[in-house]
């Protein structure tokens, strides 16, 4: 049985850190499922790591549904959450309900995530929660607002910006989000927010004080050409894939591959 939303909430009071990672297809999800990862996020970062877009902005609701269905087929243990992509929820609460409803109905994931904390968005979150849809929030560096933020840069550096993020975190909690991703903000700010909330915070580039951590699995595996300064690679998959392909290529060219069939 997959971890439930109430069980995830319990992790905070138990003081047991939440382990979260992203996935974008069945092959990766099925491997993550063999581990003890608590949350698998079908993040819209898949637009960059799996689809080759320069940002997450071009990702569509159909893209997310397609990938979330594949991921969900590989997961039996973790709570699976799917991102609402850019402009699939910002128009109105009705649009958000329609998009989130489609994701839950068509993919089998248990929850959705959306970015930002403006008052109108907080209202949208409340509507989704009233409809029985678990929502994860996301504050700090919110990549769907990349052009407004001026790049993938740390947020909450001034007192005013930090205060705004802390206030939005409280408003999102009151609206009913069950967890909050804090991306690329100062560690002291995420500590303050984590201590002020009853729901768990899940950090990415937000220091050690959050109730859990998330990474884009591509970065953790050392698969990409570049990775954000805050992401740690625990493997060098890019190096290993390159070496394996080069060895295969050499073997084929030297007539060493394809021995007689058994």
Report the residue number, 126 or 181, with the smaller CB distance to ligand KIV.
181
Residue 63 beta carbon to ligand KIV: minimum distance, rounded to whole angstroms: 12
- 40 torsion bin: left (phi>0), alpha (psi -120 to 50), beta (else): beta
Q: Is 62 a catalytic residue?
A: no
For ligand KIV, the closer CB: 124 or 217: 217
What's the closest the beta carbon of residue 217 comes to ligand KIV, in angstroms?
9
24-28 long-range CB contacts below 8 Å, 24 or more apart?
24/49, 24/50, 24/67, 24/70, 24/71, 25/50, 25/67, 25/70, 25/71, 26/70, 26/71, 26/73, 26/74, 27/74, 28/71, 28/74, 28/217
- The CB-of-46 to ligand KIV minimum distance in angstroms stands at 7
Residue with nearest beta carbon to ligand KIV: 43
Closer to ligand KIV at the Cβ: 55 or 77?
A: 55
Rounded to a whole number of angstroms, the minimum distance from the CB of residue 83 to ligand KIV is: 5
Q: How far, in Å, CA of 252 to CA of 185, rounded?
A: 49
Rounded-to-integer distance, Cα 222 and Cα 238, Å:
6
Minimum CB distance to ligand KIV smaller for 46 or for 133? 46
Of the pair 166, 181, the CB lying nearest ligand KIV is at 181
Q: Residue 165: enclosing H or E segment and its boundaries? A: helix 159-175
Summarize as ranges the residues that interact with ligand KIV (CB under 6 A): 22, 41, 43-45, 83, 138, 181, 204, 214, 216
Distance CA 10, CA 4 (A): 10
Judge contact between 212 and 38, C-beta under 8 A: yes
For the bound state, the minimum distance from the C-beta of residue 249 to ligand KIV, rounded and expressed in Å, comes to 33
Cα–Cα dist 139/136, whole Å = 10
Task: Identify whether the C-beta of residue 89 lies closer than 8 Å to the C-beta of residue 119.
Answer: no
Selected catalytic residue, list 62, 183, 188, 198 = 183
The catalytic residue positions are 183
């Amino acid at each position: 049985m997959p971890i439930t939303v109430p069980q995830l909430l319990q992790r905070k009071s138990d003081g047991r850190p939440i382990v979260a990672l992203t996935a974008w297809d069945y092959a990766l999800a099925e491997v993550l499922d063999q581990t003890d990862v608590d949350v698998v996020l079908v993040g819209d970062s898949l637009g960059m790591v799996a689809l080759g877009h320069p940002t997450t902005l071009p990702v569509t609701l159909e893209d997310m549904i397609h990938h979330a269905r594949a991921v969900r087929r590989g997961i039996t243990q973790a709570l699976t959450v799917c991102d609402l992509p850019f402009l699939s929820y910002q128009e109105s609460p009705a649009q958000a309900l329609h998009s989130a409803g489609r994701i839950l109905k068509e993919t089998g994931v248990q929850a959705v995530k959306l970015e930002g904390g403006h008052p109108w968005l907080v209202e949208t979150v409340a509507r989704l929660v009233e409809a029985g849809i678990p929502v994860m929030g996301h504050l700090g560096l919110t990549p769907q607002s990349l052009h407004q933020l001026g790049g993938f840069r740390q947020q909450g550096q001034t007192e005013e910006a930090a205060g705004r993020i802390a206030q939005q975190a409280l408003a999102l909690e009151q609206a009913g989000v069950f967890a909050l991703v804090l991306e690329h903000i100062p560690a002291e700010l995420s500590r303050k927010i984590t201590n002020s909330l009853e729901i768990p915070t899940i950090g990415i580039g937000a220091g050690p004080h959050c109730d859990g951590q998330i990474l884009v699995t591509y970065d953790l595996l050392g698969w990409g050409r570049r990775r954000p300064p805050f992401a740690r690679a625990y493997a060098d998959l890019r190096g290993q894939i390159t070496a394996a392909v080069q060895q295969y290529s050499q073997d084929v060219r030297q007539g060493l591959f394809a021995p007689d069939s058994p």
